[in-house]
Amino acid sequence: MTASATGSARFLIVGPQGSGKGTQGVLVAEAFGVPAISTGDVFRENISGGTELGSRVQAIVEAGDLVPDELTCELVRDRLAQPDAARGFLLDGFPRNRAQVADLEEFLAGRGEALDAVIELSVPRDESISRLRQRAIDQGRTDDTEQVIANRLAIYERETAPILDEYRGKGLVVQVDGVGSLDEVTERIFDALADRGLNVTGNGGNGAAA
Ligand code: AMP
C-alpha cells in the first residue's frame, strides 16, 4: 500500500510487556507495507496448533522464561529470509538479549542489510502491570498471571532493557512515550520516525491511520 521514503523499513519495536508494542507494531508495519513479526505470536500459534515446536516451548512460555536463543534465532532467520521481508520488517519481541542482538546483526550484515530504527515504547512499570492485569481478565493468557508477569518484567529489565543502550550507542533508538490513547501513541511513533527521515509516503498519511 505504502512505502518508506528510504526504500527499506527494517524496524524493531522494544518495550516492556503491556507497553502496547504488539498493537503499535502492527500499525507501523502496515503503514510501511512490511510484515509485523512477533516471536511471541509465533510461539503461541505453535502451542495452540499442537506442533512439535509448540510442545518444545510450551512450558517455557507458560513460565514466562525465555525460549533458548538457538531455537528463537533460527526461527527468526527463517522468517526474515522469506520474500515478503526482503524490503523490510517490524520485529516485535526479538531480539530480547545481547546474544539475539548479535545474531540478528550477523544475519543482516550477511545480506548487506541494516536496521533503520529501533522504536522504544516507554511505559512506567506500574502502568505495564495494570495493563497486563487487565489483559489477563480480557484475554485469559496463561502467561499473564501475577507470578509470571513479575518474572517476565524482571527478565525484561535484566536482559532486554540493556540492549537498548547498545542500539542507542548506534544512534538507532527512537524513544516514544507509550502512555496515552492508542491513536496518540501511534501518532507519536510516526512523528518520531518522520523526524529521522523515515516517512510513510502515499495519500495524505493514509498509512498512519490504517
Ligand atoms: P511476548 O508475547 O513477546 O511477551 O512473548 C511471549 C513469550 O514467548 C515470552 O515470555 C517467551 O517465553 C517467548 N518469547 C518471545 N520472544 C522471545 C525471544 N525473542 N526470545 C526468547 N523467548 C521469546
DSSP 14: E
Distances (CA, A) of 175 to 42, 102, 105: 26, 21, 21
- Helix orientation angle between 52-63 and 39-48, rounded to the nearest 10 degrees: 120
87 annotated active-site: no
pLDDT at residue 1 greater than cutoff 60: no
pLDDT of residue 143: 85
**Is there a contact between 20 and 184 (Cβ–Cβ < 8 Å)?**
no
- By three-state DSSP, how is residue 57 classified? helix
Determine the average pLDDT of the residues in 20-38.
97
Q: What is the CA radius of gyration of the chain?
A: 17
Ligand 1 pocket residue status of 71, Cβ below 6 Å: no
Ligand 1 geometric centre to CA of 110 (Å): 25
Domain for residue 140, yes or no? yes
Residue type, 205: G
Ligand 1 atom 19: the closest Cα is on which residue? 94
Residues contacting residue 156 through CB under 8 Å, at least 6 positions apart: 16, 17, 96
Ligand 1 atom 8: the closest Cα is on which residue? 40
Beginning with the edge strand found earlier in the chain, give each strand of the sheet holding 117-122 in spatial order: 36-38, 88-92, 9-14, 117-122, 173-177
- Helix orientation angle between 146-155 and 125-139, rounded to the nearest 10 degrees: 140
Element (H, E) at 107: helix 98-110
CA neighbor of 17 nearest in space, from 189, 182, 167, 154:
154
Domain for residue 81, yes or no? no
Domain for residue 1, yes or no? no
**Is there a contact between 130 and 24 (Cβ–Cβ < 8 Å)?**
no
Tens-digit pLDDT profile for residues 90-133: 999 999 999 999 999 999 999 999 999 999 999 998 999 889 88
Domain that holds residue 19: 9-38+88-195
Tens-digit pLDDT profile for residues 159-180: 999 999 999 999 999 999 999 9
Ligand 1 pocket residue status of 131, Cβ below 6 Å: no
Number of domains in the chain: 1
Domain for residue 43, yes or no? no
170 annotated active-site: no
Ligand 1 pocket residue status of 2, Cβ below 6 Å: no
pLDDT of residue 74: 97
The residue count for the chain? 210
Ligand 1 pocket residue status of 155, Cβ below 6 Å: no
Domain for residue 102, yes or no? yes
Look-up of cell digits 505504502: 2
Domain for residue 70, yes or no? no
Provide the pLDDT confidence category of residue 191 given band limits of 50, 70 and 90: very high
Probe target for ligand 1 pocket from 39, 100, 101, 159, with the most ligand atoms within 8 Å of CB: 39
- Give the three cell numbers for residue 175: 524513544
Ligand 1 atom 15: the closest Cα is on which residue? 40
Tens-digit pLDDT profile for residues 57-93: 999 999 999 999 999 999 999 999 999 999 999 999 9
* CATH value at residue 32: 3.40.50.300
Domain for residue 53, yes or no? no
As a whole number of angstroms, the distance between CA 106 and CA 156 comes to 23
135 annotated active-site: yes
Domain for residue 124, yes or no? yes
